[in-house]
Amino acid sequence: MTRPAPGAASASRPSAPASGSAPAAGAGSDDVIRTRGLTKRFRGGQLAVDGLDLAVPRGSVFGFLGPNGSGKTTTIRMLMGLIAPSSGVATVLGEPMPRSVASVLPRVGALIEGPALYGFLSGRDNLTRFDAADPTADPGTRRQRVEAALDRVGLTAAAGKKARAYSLGMKQRLGLASALLRPRELLVLDEPTNGLDPQGMREIRALVREVAAEGTTVFLSSHLLDEIEQVCTHAAVMSRGRLLVQGTVAELAARARGRLVVRTPDTHRAGEVLLAHAVTEVRIGDGRVDGEVGALAEDALPGLCAALVAAEVRILGFGVERGTLEDAFVALTGEGFDVAG
């Protein structure tokens, strides 16, 4: 029995959800993915996704961000028609899912929960099999597509090796190559840098930017804040199955207030001056003092710097550090987060 390529239209098709109707395709927007009240409750009562309202703009690189177990993969499986929602509705490329898997999935490249590979076949032969499973693929140009996909993910030299001999990172690259065999309107990647070393992660990020520049919308789930911040234009934050916030990456980072940072050997004296001038949450570290400046007007900063100088604080650096996605996530949830990149 031949297994389909990841995300292929031959995936098992659950029946459409019993309740709700799909939102009108393209109604007032050009979103490639839209959900309304999307919910998945598994047997035993586990609520994996809870009332998700998501909008992914066409042409964006959309980061779907959240800790492991926050509902990201379950959401993607519903969007791709691999499992049916318990309630709520979703449209992908303007068509309701899972009802329209046969017409939608040929326009989508997907890598979900790691690639499904034949270990006894070479990397090249795996891609050939994946391409042959696509009824819309031209057999006459199959070899060119396979070689181009191998080259894009840096596997040309290892294309003849058996897939079972591939490292985790190489398998991840091969799965990504299968999603890139043909140009797609939408590319869905679930933790695409899993198992990759730092250089491999940088290469995959560059590839995502390249694919997006060609006009493909990219929907990328990750638990790595650094990954989202480097490659994405838009993002949504999930926690415990619920959507906390969505918007452009710049908008989300802006939710975190900047902190004033003073670099000085006179840390305790500087801290006293900051507290006296309405700077809050002052923290004294090794050679630096920082604090919240949300209550201060921007034009008050020069006066604050002058007050430090008047107090004979030796200033080596003075400025406001912008908020980051990490700051925004902590502010939204009160939780720590894996920010390795």
Residues 253-286 have pLDDT tens digits of: 776 666 789 999 999 999 999 999 888 889 899 9
Give the pLDDT score at 12.
33
H/E stretch holding 64:
strand 61-65
Give 139-184 pLDDT, tens digit per residue. 999 999 999 999 999 999 999 999 999 988 899 889 999 999 988 9
Give the pLDDT score at 8.
37
Give the rounded percent of residues in the chain with a pLDDT score beyond 90: 51
pLDDT interval class at 290 (50, 70, 90):
confident
Residue type, 270: A
Q: Which CATH architecture has domain 259-322?
A: 2-Layer Sandwich (3.30)
Are both 31-251 and 259-322 of the same fold? no
pLDDT interval class at 251 (50, 70, 90):
confident
Give the pLDDT score at 7.
38
Q: What is the CATH number of domain 31-251?
A: 3.40.50.300
pLDDT interval class at 132 (50, 70, 90):
very high
Contact 63, 220 (CB under 8 A): yes
Find the mean pLDDT for residues 11-35: 51
Give the pLDDT score at 328.
65
Find the mean pLDDT for residues 195-208: 85
Contact 237, 329 (CB under 8 A): yes
What DSSP string describes 81-124? TSS--SEEEEEETTEEETTTHHHHGGGEEEE-SS----TTSBHH
pLDDT interval class at 327 (50, 70, 90):
low
Domain positions in the chain: 31-251, 259-322
Give 71-85 pLDDT, tens digit per residue. 999 999 999 999 999
Residue type, 95: E
Predicted structure pTM score? 0.72
Give yes or no for residue 329 having a pLDDT over 80: no
Beta strand spans in 168-309 (E): 186-190, 217-222, 234-239, 242-248, 259-263, 280-284, 288-292
pLDDT interval class at 298 (50, 70, 90):
low
Give the pLDDT score at 81.
93
Of 168, 134, 148, the C-alpha closest to 210 is: 148
Collapsing DSSP states into helix, strand and coil, what is residue 290?
strand
pLDDT greater at residue 6 or residue 276: 276
Give the pLDDT score at 125.
97
pLDDT interval class at 201 (50, 70, 90):
confident
Give yes or no for residue 48 having a pLDDT over 60: yes
Q: What angle do CA 110, 195, 58 make, to 5 degrees?
A: 30
Give yes or no for residue 326 having a pLDDT over 70: no
Is the preceding peptide bond at 98 cis, omega within 30 degrees of 0?
A: yes
Give 92-124 pLDDT, tens digit per residue. 999 999 999 999 998 999 988 777 899 999 999
